[in-house]
């Protein structure tokens, strides 16, 4: 079964991911923070919404559920959190289910929120040679989500889970934050040789398509400072900014914590 994956833009920088089968007309959306752009796309393309996937409870990921549920009666897979309206298929770490003929695996990734999960398609018909990850606000291209509810230790462990996925995995995160994240990455690890080339490639991609995603796990391992807490360059940068890591600079969780705190207040040079 052939599945296509496309972005539906919402709000200022959200992406609602649309999975569709053009042969059957079936569709799934991931994190519909708003119903109207989803409905408009479905009607334009003659698609029927059969499933919704929810990664966490924030309103910009769940706000469209009531109207979409009323209109299409889809199965709604997501965390078993009473704060999320309409979940009909609560899922948790280790669960597997079939979606449009493809297996989906659930990965618990607390940190941004305590209920956060990711959906991993290990053998996606969208690209048989490329697994697919829908990671919400946990992993971003060249970044990661803020810690609204969880701890740095939880987020670090969650990111390590995602970093261990196959390098070819396509990463579909929920926001267009890539260029701002790249600015921070270049400040955090200025001697990383991959960053200037990555910046140029993404600048060209954005100018042509208006979207930087998906990324890949391979690209994130090369460019994302939050997956590079082992880097000597990052440790040296933190030291020059008088940010606490550890007595010998080898504690990667402390380096991650310092990076996340710095990023929370980071302003790129103009």
SS3 52: strand
Quote the pLDDT of residue 249.
46
What band does 244 get if pLDDT is binned at 50, 70 and 90? low
Quote the pLDDT of residue 127.
56
230 assigned to active site: no
From 31, 56, 77, 115, active-site residue? 56
116 assigned to active site: no
241 assigned to active site: no
58 assigned to active site: yes
| Cα separations in angstroms, 112 against 62, 122, 158, 178 | 15, 24, 10, 17
248: pLDDT strictly greater than 80: no
What band does 267 get if pLDDT is binned at 50, 70 and 90? confident
45: pLDDT strictly greater than 60: yes
What band does 246 get if pLDDT is binned at 50, 70 and 90? low
175 assigned to active site: yes
Could you report the per-residue pLDDT of 161-213, keeping only the tens digit for each?
999 999 999 999 999 999 999 999 999 999 999 999 999 999 999 999 999 99
From 31, 77, 95, 112, active-site residue? 112
From 57, 77, 116, 175, active-site residue? 175
- Put the strands of the sheet holding 170-173 in their side by side order: 96-99, 102-108, 117-121, 132-136, 170-173, 215-216
Count of C-beta atoms within a 10 Å radius of residue 161: 16
Could you report the per-residue pLDDT of 8-20, keeping only the tens digit for each?
999 999 999 999 9
Quote the pLDDT of residue 130.
84
Range of lowest pLDDT (208-212, 218-222, 246-250, 256-260): 246-250
H/E stretch holding 76 reads strand 75-78
Cα distance between residue 28 and residue 58, in whole Å? 19
Quote the pLDDT of residue 124.
55
What does the mean pLDDT of the chain come to?
A: 93
57 assigned to active site: no
Those residues whose C-beta lies under 8 Å from the C-beta of residue 183, and which sit 6 or more positions away, are: 268
From 57, 77, 115, 137, active-site residue? 137
What band does 245 get if pLDDT is binned at 50, 70 and 90? low
From 31, 57, 61, 77, active-site residue? 61
pTM: 0.94
Could you report the per-residue pLDDT of 152-168, keeping only the tens digit for each?
999 999 999 999 999 99
Could you report the per-residue pLDDT of 95-149, keeping only the tens digit for each?
999 999 889 999 999 999 999 999 999 975 555 668 999 999 999 999 999 999 9
Give the closest residue to 263 by CA, choosing from 146, 136, 111: 146
From 58, 77, 116, 198, active-site residue? 58
Asked if residue 239 lies in contact with residue 249, where contact means CB atoms within 8 angstroms, the answer is yes
Classify burial at 162, counting beta carbons within 10 Å of its beta carbon; exposed 0-12, middle 13-18, buried 19 or more: buried
137 assigned to active site: yes
219: pLDDT strictly greater than 80: yes
């Amino acid at each position: 079964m052939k599945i296509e994956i496309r972005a539906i833009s919402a709000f200022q920088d959200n992406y609602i991911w649309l999975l569709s089968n053009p042969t059957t007309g079936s569709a799934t959306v991931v994190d519909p923070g708003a119903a109207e752009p989803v409905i408009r796309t479905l009607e334009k393309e003659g698609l029927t919404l059969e499933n919704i996937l929810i990664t966490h409870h924030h309103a910009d990921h769940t706000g469209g559920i009531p109207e979409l549920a009323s209109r299409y009666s889809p199965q709604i897979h997501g965390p078993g959190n009473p704060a999320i309206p309409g979940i009909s298929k609560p899922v948790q770490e280790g669960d597997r289910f079939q979606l449009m003929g493809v297996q989906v695996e659930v990965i618990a990734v607390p940190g941004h929120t305590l209920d956060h999960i990711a959906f991993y398609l290990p053998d996606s018909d969208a690209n048989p040679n490329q697994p697919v990850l829908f990671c919400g606000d946990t992993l971003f291209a060249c970044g990661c989500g803020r810690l609204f509810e969880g701890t740095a230790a939880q987020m670090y462990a969650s990111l390590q889970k995602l970093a261990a996925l196959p390098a070819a995995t396509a990463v579909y995160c929920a926001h267009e934050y890539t260029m701002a994240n790249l600015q921070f990455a270049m400040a955090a690890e200025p001697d990383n040789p991959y960053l200037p080339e990555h910046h140029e490639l993404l600048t060209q991609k954005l100018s042509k398509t208006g979207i930087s995603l998906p990324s890949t796990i391979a690209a994130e391992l090369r460019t994302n400072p939050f997956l590079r807490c082992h880097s000597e360059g990052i440790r040296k940068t933190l030291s020059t900014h008088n940010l606490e890591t550890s007595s010998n600079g080898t504690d990667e969780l402390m380096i991650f914590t310092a990076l996340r705190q710095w990023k929370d207040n980071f302003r790129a040079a103009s």
